Structure 1
């Protein structure tokens, strides 16, 4: 399973290429919005989004049949930016499930800024 190629297809919103990475009965959970998707629902949610995606893999870890990625995802035409952590379960070189956690990028909350704690990562 080439996780970089999966993300390339997902960010390109290429439904046919994406489908090839999954078992037919695969499912995806988006925990932040409490949504459970079948494979086809997930592909629709990703590929029918009303903008184009781009992004960069920032970290990948693998332990046995689990692949974990941290990816910076952003919309090409809107000021939307996210970091997503994805837990991929792999069986016979295909994705059987993904648990994803999406976080909106933005400034630290005012209460932390007021305390003058922390500093920018980049």
Structure 2
């Protein structure tokens, strides 16, 4: 399977909170870091944090870049109440995720101080 297809499936399972399928992507000694909240997880901890998060979620990968054993993705994850974008750096070993470093950000409105500057424009 092409890496892009695998990563699309990965993000599908993240949004579905499908623990069994997510587990198949990780090296048994994988490490996951959420830098914005200064948290580090083992694979079982990550699966629990992701799959027991409240609510029904949707998601899609918007971009992927690959260099050697590193894959970088940008994904959009949302529910009826929340919308986030995440930039993820996957270090792969033998086809499995050995290390995952993620940067999650809430989507939101342009702050008023920047609106007042009358700079920029919406991304189309």
TM-score range, shorter chain: over 0.9
Normalised to the residue count of structure 2, the TM-score between the two structures is 0.93
Q: Could you tell me which residue of structure 2 aligns to residue 89 of structure 1?
A: 91
Q: 1:115 aligns with which of 114, 117, 122?
A: 117
Q: 1:99 aligns with which of 101, 105, 113?
A: 101
Does residue 11 (structure 1) correspond to residue 10 (structure 2)? The answer is no
Distance 1:55 1:5 in 2: 10
Distance 1:8 1:81 in 2: 16
1:53, distance to aligned residue in structure 2 (A): 1.4
1:69, distance to aligned residue in structure 2 (A): 0.4
Does residue 24 (structure 1) correspond to residue 54 (structure 2)? The answer is no
- Extract structure 1 runs of 4+ deviating beyond 4 A: none
Indicate if the aligned counterparts of 2:91 and 2:98 stay in contact, CA closer than 8 A: yes
Deviations 1:82-112 (A, max 9, x none): 0000000000000001000001100111111
Normalised to the residue count of structure 1, the TM-score between the two structures is 0.94
Does residue 43 (structure 1) correspond to residue 47 (structure 2)? The answer is yes
Q: How many residues align?
A: 120
**Greater displacement, 87-96 / 2-11:** 2-11
Please give the secondary structure, in 1, of the residue aligned with 2:81. coil
What is the Cα-based RMSD across aligned positions, in Å?
0.9
